[in-house]
Amino acid sequence: MQTQTINLSIPKPLLSMISRQAKTEARTKSGLIQEAIRVYLTQKNAWQDLFNYGQSQAKKLKIKASQVESIVDAYRRGR
């Protein structure tokens, strides 16, 4: 995998946390930060996909944002 070096400013307390965690996991700080960014972006994209799906379903069913809470409440009561 090709890599590129970047400069990154990190508050000292956060850097200390990163250093401790990297040591605990026997990995480099760079590797830990790369994994943290990968996990963050993967989760962010998964949530965005879920929201997009919800919006498309709401559009198909002609549900307005103001109706969502009452629909969810009614569903939960019906269980």
pLDDT tens for 8-62 read: 999 999 999 999 999 999 999 999 999 999 999 999 999 999 999 999 999 999 9
- The structure's pTM equals 0.74
- Band of residue 79 on the pLDDT scale cut at 50, 70, 90: low
The residue ranges of every structural domain in the chain are 43-79
Q: Alpha-carbon distance 22 to 7, whole Å?
A: 19
Q: Alpha-carbon distance 79 to 68, whole Å?
A: 17
Q: Alpha-carbon distance 67 to 74, whole Å?
A: 11
Contact status, residue 22 vs residue 29, Cβ threshold 8 Å: yes
